[in-house]
Amino acid sequence: MKLVSRILLHLAWALSLLLGVWAVLFYLALNDRIEHEMDDALALRAETILTRYLAGRTLPDAGEGLDGYRLREIPETYASLRPKELFSNEKVYLPSRAEREPARVLRTLFRDGAGGWHELTVMAPTIEKRALSQAVLRWVVALYAILLLMILVVTVWVLRRTMRPLYALLRWLDDYTVGMRNAPLPDDTAVEEFRRLNDAARRYAARAESLFERQKQFIGNASHEMQTPLAVCRNRLEMLVDETTLTERQLGEIAKVQQTLGYLVRLNRSLLLLTKIENGQFPETEPVGMNALARTTLEELDEIQAHRGMTCTFRDEGPLVVRMNPSLAGSLVSNLLKNAFVHGRPQGRILVQVAPRWLEVANDATDGPLDAARIFDRFYHDHRKAGSTGLGLAIVDAVCRLYGLQAEYAFEEGMHRFRIRFPESVVVPQQE
């Protein structure tokens, strides 16, 4: 989840709770105010009627509706038990409608000049109050929703404008590749925290570049220094064989040592190639015809094919031209084919197919299917053939990851099938 979305989610939850409580309190306060105003009106009306009665003036028509009033004498015992003024919400019976309607009622007790007790009951309908309360409720809910929405919209706008330097830094980090020429990090923010974050990113990028250069230098030096003593050892063994009379057993042991040294030389070269691929040390690209490259590689492997008695079939199903580093394209094809020749069944079949979007190499299996989840791991194969370093398919996988290719393995009809799919970003379109 993005930072802005997470902030918005928490803010929406908090504001919903806060504004919800505020809306309820506001609605209750407004209802209380409406009721207070109605009570004031009832008290004023009761005072007017009471004043006229005590002054002996003519009283207004009492009426029979909810806007009327009632005046009656009460015994002193009743008056002593009742409060002198009481507001209440009641349902008043209307003879004209033969039903009860809600009303606000004020009962006032008073004494006349002769000392007698009277009860004045003044009523006002609350139908208008209910309608008003419902209208207020609707408006409160609507304003609450609009206010919440506007706050969230403004918050998103403010956050996006504020977070621009952070998004610029994230884009720069996504596009940054160690060892390549990278665009400078934009630094157009006045926010101190973002400036410090940009400075830290530059420092760590510079440190990564320094470590990368040291690693490249170490790999190059180590490879060169290892190749020299290995070559010297092989040459001295050859001189020893040529200049010294050795027994058959000694010659056999020297041959084993030479074989081991040859394996170390190939292993050193393969590991160096893998490291260079993963470090992105092959930036140069150009159009490479995979059809011609596959044919050329097959011709170079004729001796292995003849030695193992294998039958190789090449199928050209359309031109495949890709934009890659020529050396890496050659390593991709040669390692796939060498894997098929070395690990395939003697006197078995090898099928090479090239199509406009994919390349496939298949060979007869000596055993059952391999573990598809580990087939491209380094040194995976348990039954390694003589002369195999166990890094061929690892190099294939490294090249695929570098260019975004898709490497697939399947076991069909007793054959191991390795298919490389090339995306549109790599394939060079053919002119009609």
Residues 43 and 136 reside in one and the same domain: yes
Residues 121 and 196 reside in one and the same domain: no
* Domain limit, last residue, from 277, 311, 345: 277
Residues 151 and 7 reside in one and the same domain: yes
Distance CA 71, CA 118 (A): 7
- What's the chain's length in residues? 432
Q: What is the pTM of this model?
A: 0.49
Residue 189: CB atoms within 10 A of its CB come to 17
Residues 52 and 114 reside in one and the same domain: yes
Residues 400 and 321 reside in one and the same domain: yes
Distance CA 7, CA 155 (A): 9
Q: Which residues contact 215 (CB under 8 A, 6 or more apart)?
A: 279
> For residue 88, what are the β-bridge partners?
105
Residues 39 and 115 reside in one and the same domain: yes
Q: What is the pLDDT of residue 1?
A: 66
Q: Which residues contact 2 (CB under 8 A, 6 or more apart)?
A: none
Low-confidence residues of the chain, pLDDT below 50? 382, 432
Nearest CA to 151 among 18, 323, 282?
18
Q: Quick one: three-class SS letters along 178-235?
A: CCCCCCCCCCCCCCHHHHHHHHHHHHHHHHHHHHHHHHHHHHHHHHHHHHHHHHHHHH
Residues 58 and 120 reside in one and the same domain: yes
Residues 25 and 93 reside in one and the same domain: yes
User: What's the token pair of residue 39?
Assistant: 């009570």
Task: Flag whether 32 is in a domain.
Answer: yes
Nearest CA to 419 among 320, 324, 346?
320
* Domain limit, last residue, from 159, 179, 206: 159
CB of 418 closer than 8 Å to CB of 408: yes
Nearest CA to 294 among 344, 359, 347?
359
Nearest CA to 418 among 349, 339, 321?
339
Task: Flag whether 39 is in a domain.
Answer: yes
Q: In whole angstroms, how large is the CA radius of gyration of the chain? A: 47
Task: Flag whether 299 is in a domain.
Answer: yes
Task: Flag whether 170 is in a domain.
Answer: no
Task: Flag whether 53 is in a domain.
Answer: yes
Residues 79 and 112 reside in one and the same domain: yes
Residues 314 and 339 reside in one and the same domain: yes
Q: What is the pLDDT of residue 360?
A: 92
Residues 135 and 22 reside in one and the same domain: yes
Residue 396: CB atoms within 10 A of its CB come to 24
* Domain limit, last residue, from 255, 277, 299: 277
Task: Flag whether 357 is in a domain.
Answer: yes
Residues 267 and 291 reside in one and the same domain: no
Task: Flag whether 169 is in a domain.
Answer: no
Dihedrals phi, psi of 238, to nearest 5 degrees: -65, -40
Task: Flag whether 309 is in a domain.
Answer: yes
> For residue 100, what are the β-bridge partners?
93
* Count: domains in the chain: 3
Q: What is the pLDDT of residues 306-317, one digit of tens each?
A: 778 888 888 888
- Look up the domain containing 292 and give its range: 284-421
